[in-house]
Chain A
Amino acid sequence: MTRFLFITLFALASLSSARAEDLAIIVAPGVAIDNLSLSELRAIFLMEKTTINDTKLTVLMREKGAPERTETLKDVYQMTDGAYEGYFLQAVFTGKISSAPRMIPSGAAIRKIVGGNPGMIGYIAASAVDASVKAVKIDGHAPGEAGYPLKY
């Protein structure tokens, strides 16, 4: 009976991981940014805008292959990986920026760096948000609310 329960719980856990997850945009808890429009978020991630509410922001990106990165490319950048690489190479070449966003290997590492640095902005699964970071509303919606635009 216990084995049957164990196998059933394991199967249910596997199924739940296939449901859509919200992608949370995170900043340090004390940063005076509570809401961003999707177009503002895009401008920040394209590094066209580096300051919001007097806070200078540096973007952190996940490494290639991460589902969170794929979602960010699709709904924030509206680019493929190749177009993203080309965009930032050209931006550096024209002198608009000095380097592309830093790549970080895990969501936990992004959470740790963002939580400890008021000048950083990144993204993690909404379920991974804890008290060390603050999830920013996008277009007035918080992760988990109906209408939140970033899901993967």
Chain B
Amino acid sequence: MAIPSFGADTPTDAELIRQLAARVDQLEKELKEVQGAASSSADATENTYPKIRFNGFADITYHATHRGDPSHFELGEFDLFINSRISEKAGILAETVVAADGTNNFGVDIERLIFQYNISDAFKLDVGRFHTALGYYNNTYHHGTWFQTATGRPDFVNYEDSGGILPVHTVGISLHGAIPSGTLGLSYFAEVGNSHQFRNPNLGVNPVANVADVSNSKAVNVALLSRPAGVPGLQFGAGLYHDNLHPDAQIGTVENILNGHVVFKDAHWEFISEVYKISHAPDNGPTTTSTAWFAQVAHQFGKLRPYVRYTSTDIPLTDAAYALVDLAGKRHTVSYGVRWDFTDYASYKMQLDQKTVTGLPVSSDLIFQLAFTF
């Protein structure tokens, strides 16, 4: 639209006003047409099912080790994540991971396969294979390292086939939801599933009971969490996992895992701490008690996030179940690292791990990782 000038041949005021009014009418008409098209388009796509979404996660790492494996590049897990809503209340979540093992051969694992049904905010049902609601890390971080600040999970929270001591996965049923509690922000988990498997690794049996269990008794897990509204970013909780183990399908052992966590995360700080007390009471011997804990602190400086993590595990050598899978003993790891989010969906991490295992010299591992999602 031309700006009115003050020259001798300019239109009269009445003519100018008429032209401006006509232009405004035209613009309003065009705007209504555009807005109508946009809202119709938005409405049309809302209630069509199934609505499927794909995401991928992967990482590539270089390990420069001292007193460990030879230095090497490592192709991390290729994580294909699928989420599909099949009705207003029901959905499917599937996480398939392709990864290479120590023999450099690839294998495929269904890490999570969950049928989800949301009855209400207080009752949400998951059926299938899911991450056991133990602590914060296992419930929050699954198989994509891009989400995690560090290059990997705390040692004892690792997966069952990667040196972890916890029943990270459960095949069964999980009921969870919010508890009406005002500003306390309480929520709960109540789970039942196949037992935590302890088998000699040389037998090649999967430590997660995906299709078969060794006895009729099932593992149960309960947890209570709080996210108080008065402190956004704060979460704390506790839980108890109970199981009847049959290490190598023989002697029965009652397992109880008492756990607690405190977490604070906001735009600048991340603090995650968890503690576990694991008791194993075999039918034919004394009860052993193991402890494990970690604490991680990180601070955000622009796109950089330096962090430090301390992990400690103390498992008596007399614990027959853990001894079967070579996890008994005292271990601790100090990790120092920095994460750089150089794009919105890819990050570069450098981390130094110093691991101490009782009876062995300290080993160091310098890790360089490129983690991304797509």
Contacts and interface: CB of A to CB of B under 8 A. Distances in A.
A95 B81 contact: no
B191 interface: no
A79 B46 CA distance: 26
Contact of B42 (A42, A85, A113): A113
A113 B232 contact: no
Contacts of A6: 4
Contacts, number: 81
Nearest to A95: B93
B199 interface: no
Interface in A47-93: 48-51, 78-80, 82-83, 85, 89-90, 92-93
A32 interface: no
A42 B36 CA distance: 29
Interface stretch (B140-148, B275-283, B328-336, B358-366): B140-148
B9 interface: no
Nearest to A110: B39
Interface string B151-166: 0000000000000000
A50 B55 CA distance: 24
B140 A94 contact: yes
Contacts of B4: 3, 6
Given A39-B183, A82-B344, A106-B35, A98 B83 contact: yes
Interface residues of A, number: 32
Nearest to B81: A93
Interface in B97-129: 112, 114, 116, 120-121, 126
B188 to A, nearest CB: 14
B121 A51 contact: yes
A39 B232 CA distance: 9
A104 interface: yes
Contacts of B308: none
Interface string B211-252: 000000000000000010110100000000000000000000
B6 A3 contact: yes
B39 A112 contact: yes
A95 B126 contact: yes
A95 B116 contact: yes
Contact of A104 (B38, B121, B185, B267): B38
Given A93-B81, A93-B144, A95-B116, A78 B267 contact: yes
B373 A98 contact: no
Q: Is the interface of A mostly helix, strand, loop or mixed?
A: helix
A16 interface: no
Interface in A92-106: 92-95, 98-99, 102, 104-106
Interface in B17-38: 31, 34-36, 38
B69 interface: no
Contacts of A113: 39, 42-43
B53 A92 contact: yes
A87 to B, nearest CB: 10
Interface string B74-88: 000000010101000
B266 to A, nearest CB: 8
A97 B344 CA distance: 21
Nearest to B178: A49
A39 B121 contact: no
A39 B229 contact: yes
B139 interface: yes
A109 B55 contact: no
Interface in A1-48: 2-3, 6, 39, 42-43, 48
Contacts of B344: 82, 85
Nearest to B93: A95
B66 interface: no
B39 A92 contact: no
A51 to B, nearest CB: 5
Query: Which 9 residue pairs of A and B lie closest in terms of their CB atoms, listed nearest first?
Result: A39-B229, A109-B39, A108-B35, A2-B13, A98-B85, A112-B39, A105-B38, A109-B38, A95-B93
Given A49-B178, A106-B38, A112-B35, 19 more contacts: A3-B4, A6-B4, A42-B229, A48-B178, A48-B227, A50-B121, A80-B267, A92-B83, A93-B144, A95-B114, A95-B130, A98-B51, A98-B83, A99-B85, A102-B46, A104-B39, A105-B38, A113-B42, A113-B43
Interface of B: 4, 6, 13, 31, 34-36, 38-39, 42-43, 46, 51, 53, 55, 81, 83, 85, 91, 93, 112, 114, 116, 120-121, 126, 130, 139-140, 142, 144, 147, 178, 183, 185, 227, 229-230, 232, 266-267, 341, 344, 373
27 contacts: A2-B13, A3-B4, A43-B185, A49-B178, A51-B121, A78-B232, A78-B266, A83-B267, A89-B373, A90-B147, A92-B83, A93-B81, A93-B142, A94-B142, A95-B93, A95-B116, A98-B51, A98-B91, A98-B116, A102-B42, A104-B38, A104-B39, A106-B34, A106-B35, A109-B38, A112-B36, A113-B42
